[in-house]
Amino acid sequence: MAIPIVGRCFADAQDFLEYLESVTFNLWRPRFVTVHHTGAPDLKTWENWQTRPKPVTDEQWMKNLAVYYATAVPGVKSAWSAGPHFFVTPKNICVLSPPNARGVHAASFNAVSWGVEAVGNFDSEKYEGPVRDNLIDALAVMHIAAGLQPDPFQKGVRGLHFHRDDPQTSKTCPGKKVVKTEMVEAIEAKIAAMTGGDDPSDVVKMAKAKPAQKGVVNTDGLNIRVTASGKAPVLGSLPLGTKVSVLREAMNGNTRWLGIEHEGEPGWVSATFVTL
């Protein structure tokens, strides 16, 4: 027995993005991403797999995991109907459970989030190097592909979640050495880099959060985007006269962007089209 799996691994973030963009979403889609570490295997164990006469490839590991999750171990674990959606190793971003269906990884968040596991035990091992870089790439791609934002955070609703945010677990997952504010910053920087500045040389500079200001949209059909970039995916559009709350600002090259909230949903709009 095994759970349904995708079983594909991508060494390149752009290939992972193309894969996710090819997935058709029907009834279920994620509202945020929940991050885990595997704990076991830790990084040392995973590295030992690579030096065996017959190395355990990441693709093979996905197959093994599919059997593991589907199998009940009396007194230890029950059989699961699915696993986490994604696994990140120092080599690859792998897809275990289908991204367009509910996974099993965090009791409180399964119904509404993607689960991603990074190989390592970041209570004891250092959170750095290729697995850290691949995790940030993977998270940036997930947010771009699903039109999600890692920040702001509202538990169970939106923003980047750690497994330890789940009141139903006592785990430290994804490890005591992983700091969420740092991870959110790294993901936002990667999203900005992947979705492009308005000019190739542009750097997005985030301004510190200010007290919320009120603004009114002064054009019809103002695009709301995932990040402060004219190349970022569009979340929706606002009609002339819409009132918005302005929470943040960013400069992308010479273009000023406003981080807004409209009907509870965050996004970015060009400052030219909002009268404060």
Interface positions with Zn ion (CB under 5 A): 36, 163, 173
Q: Which is nearer to Zn ion, 168 or 275 (CB)?
A: 168
Strand partners, 118: 37, 88
- Minimum CB separation from Zn ion for residue 165, in Å? 10
Q: Which is nearer to Zn ion, 137 or 166 (CB)?
A: 166
Q: Which is nearer to Zn ion, 14 or 168 (CB)?
A: 168
Q: Report the amino acid identity of residue 158.
A: R
Give the integer Cα–Cα distance in Å for 122 and 164.
Answer: 13
- Let me know: does 159 contact 30? Beta carbons within 8 Å: no
- Minimum CB separation from Zn ion for residue 144, in Å? 23
- Structure-token pair, residue 132: 């850290």
Q: Which is nearer to Zn ion, 58 or 165 (CB)?
A: 165
Q: Which is nearer to Zn ion, 155 or 243 (CB)?
A: 155
- Minimum CB separation from Zn ion for residue 83, in Å? 12
CA torsion 46-47-50-52 (nearest 10°) is -90
- Minimum CB separation from Zn ion for residue 179, in Å? 16
- Helices marked H in the chain: 13-22, 43-50, 58-70, 129-146, 180-195
Quickly tell me which residue has 């400069």 as its tokens.
Answer: 251
- Minimum CB separation from Zn ion for residue 100, in Å? 22
Q: Which is nearer to Zn ion, 67 or 107 (CB)?
A: 107
Query: Residue 75: left if φ>0, alpha if ψ -120 to 50, beta else—which one?
Result: left
Q: Which whole-number Å values give the CA distances from 66 to 13, 37, 164, 232, in the listed order? A: 23, 17, 24, 35
Q: Which is nearer to Zn ion, 105 or 225 (CB)?
A: 105
- Minimum CB separation from Zn ion for residue 172, in Å? 9
- Minimum CB separation from Zn ion for residue 184, in Å? 18
* Cβ within 8 Å of residue 207, ≥6 positions away: 248, 249, 250, 251
